[in-house]
Structure 1
Amino acid sequence: MAAGFDPVVEHERTRAALRAAVPRLAGLLRDAPDGGAPSGLPGWTVSDVDAHLCAVCLAYCSAFTGEFDGWDDVLPPGDGPFVERITAVNAKAIGVFADEVRARPGDAVAERGEAFLRVTEGLAPDTPVPTPWYGERIVLTLAAATGLLLSETLVHGLDVARGARLPWVIPPDEARLVIGQAFPTMMPMALDVERARRVRIAFDVALKGGPRLAVVVEDGAATVTRDAPPRAYDCRITAAPVTFLLIGFRRVPLWKAVARGRIRAGGRRPWLATSLTELIASP
């Protein structure tokens, strides 16, 4: 464990951030004037985003409560590529809550977000959380799952706000929590294996105010280590935390972030910075 990083304290901070963000998102969904309007996510309406978020909360809750047992109807067969699997699951899962969110926008998100926090209260950050939607045998830690729920809340809140033309703020501290808690798990899972074959690159990703990630891609696999010991890197990336979060989820193009001075590349091979977004996929 790196000095200054306490996983228990950071997990509780992530829970607190999620507890504050969920009702804020629910209020945004209720304020959206037209659930059928396009969101900021191409192909999805505001109500689609609402339904997706309900499905996500249900999925994570069910890891502890077993309340949803319809995975055979939602999951694609086998373990396909990450993006294809998540895209297929998302398309089917939206239908589970489509009618409810049209009748009660924001309510189901608030209820199920609170339910997740309630059923996981007092559990250790390393508690296992089965996540069959990511893969048949994929199990996350509770810390990573909570960070992912926070990312869903923050990023999809932005999608709703862009579509509804309403304000939405992603606080830098909350972006840091997502990056520190979820990215070390999700970036290796989201690696484009075919593109990464015969690739060997080590990135030093430094977020302003922390955390720092060592991202090593080697022969079709990736490892992401938080606050890693010193080593030689090919490329050093320095970024504002909200910018890096939105680049990771393809909500902000890399070129625009560079033009605005929100992300910089250095090290002995700075031109490799663009390779990170090419190698790490996003559904």
Structure 2
Amino acid sequence: MGTVTTFDPVTEHERTRAALAAAASRLVALLRAVPDQDARSGVPEWTVGDVGAHLAAVYLAYTALVSPDDAVEWDDVLPSGEGTFVERITAMNSRSVTLFGGEERAKVPDFVAERSDTFLRVTEGLPPDSPVSAPWYGEVPFTLATVTGLLLSETLVHGLDVARGARTPWSIGDDEARLVLGQSMPTMMAAALDPVKSRGVHIAFDLAVRGGPRLAVVVDDGTVTVTRDAPPRAYDCRIVAAPATFLLVSFRRTPIWKAVASGRMRAGGSKPWLAMRLGQLVAGP
């Protein structure tokens, strides 16, 4: 079954905060150096300026979750009706691009810098398991650790989108990716399960990220449990992946065939062919 390691949630959370501070600083420098706001980005339907506007909205939203002084009237922003996970996130993404338009886009780097500082200042010293409500995700139970990991993932992945459009280098280190995967992936995989495609499905995945974390992802007839450092058990499929590669495959920035061809992702276990099902069962906008 392989070795299952344990982690210290407080130490890992502090490392995630430090990684977020460093990544946000790199992002601000990148946004300030973009030569053409109208260049196509790594997101096919968005320009580089659109991605910057989305990032500003992301930092606005996540800071509002933890800072009473920056509260947002969510009823004015959230899409109407319940909707599926994908529908809600897609609607929020579309709305986010419109919050910063025209001349306001020139202020995006400074806004991101200010909000990242505020987020880290307001949350300093808070326990990683502090509950946080993120209305656009519905009733999913979030913690401060989850939110911090998500903000780091937005910074890293959308930083890559901007850099691809600006033809500028941008790195996502394996240590950064491990923090994202450990802090936010268990919650987000559970939230993003496709209830239709997973109906009648019974598959146990052993997701082993090289160097950690290790997640047991058990899909059982329309429900899923994602457990970190799970006790040994039998799995149908084992997926071993390099951290940054798995992060980019998860966010659909790298095709899975390329990850497999490069040797940075491989499947094993009694039913290795089920590895392709994981990306189909866990939805994404």
Alignment of 1:66-215 (within 5 A): 66=68, 67-99=70-102, 101-135=104-138, 137-215=139-217
**Shift in CA distance, 201/70, structure 1 to aligned 2, threshold 3 Å:** same
Contact 1:58–1:68 (Cα < 8 Å) also in 2: no
- Structure 1 pair 153–100 and aligned structure 2 pair: CA distance change class (3 A): farther
Contact 1:47 1:101 in 2 (8 A): no
Instruction: State the shift of 1:98 in Å.
Output: 2.4
Match for 2:65: what amino acid?
A
Identity rate, percent: 65
* Distance (whole Å) between structure 1 residues aligned to residue 270 and residue 170 of structure 2: 38
Deviates more, 1:91-100 or 1:71-80: 91-100
- Partner residue in 2 for 1:218: 220
Q: Aligned partners of 2:66, 2:11: CA distance in 1, in Å? A: 22
Cα contact 2:201–2:220 (8 A) shared by 1: yes
The residue identity in structure 2 corresponding to 1:211 is P
Sort the Cα spacing of 1:218 and 1:108 in 2 relative to 1 into closer, same or farther, 3 A: same
1:8 matches 2:10: yes
Could you say what secondary structure the match of 1:97 adopts? Answer: coil
Q: Which moved more, 1:61-70 or 1:163-172?
A: 61-70
Matched position secondary structure for 2:247: helix
Residue pair 2:6, 2:229 contacting (<8 A) in 1 also = no
SS in 1 for 2:135: coil
In structure 1, the gaps of 5 or more residues are none
Q: Which residue of 2 aligns with 1:60?
A: 62
Shift of 1:106: 1.6
In the alignment, the residues of structure 2 paired with residue 177 and residue 190 of structure 1 have an alpha-carbon distance, to the nearest angstrom, of 19
1:192 CA displacement: 1.0
- Matched to 2:172, the amino acid is I
Q: Distance in 2 between matches of 1:46 and 1:107?
A: 16
Contact kept in structure 2, 1:130 and 1:139, CA below 8 Å = yes
Partners of 1:101 and 1:108 within 8 A in 2: no
Distance 1:122 1:143 in 2: 12
Structure 2 unaligned segments of length 5 or more: list them. Answer: none
Runs of 4+ aligned residues of structure 1 deviating over 4 Å after TM superposition are none
| Contact residue 191 and residue 279 of structure 1 kept, 8 A | yes
TM-score if structure 1 supplies the norm length? 0.96
> Residues of 2 paired with 1:139 and 1:229: CA distance?
23
Where 1:168 maps in the other structure, the secondary structure is coil
- Which segment drifts farther, 31-40 or 103-112? 103-112
Distance 1:234 1:139 in 2: 28
Cα distance in 2 between the residues matched to 1:213 and 1:110? 33
By how many angstroms is 1:234 displaced? 0.1
User: 1:101: how far off?
Assistant: 4.7
Cα distance per residue 1:221-252 (max 9 Å; x no partner): 11111111000000000000001000110101
How far did 1:93 drift? 2.1
Return the letter of the residue paired with 2:132. Answer: V
- 1:104: how far off? 2.4
* Alpha-carbon distance in 1 for matches of 2:262, 2:124: 41
**Alignment RMSD, CA only?**
1.3
The equivalent of 2:48 in structure 1 is: 46
SS at match of 2:172: coil
Counterpart pick for 1:35 among 29, 34, 37: 37
Whole-angstrom distance in 2 between the partners of 1:17 and 1:253:
26
The one-letter code matched in structure 2 to 1:78 is G
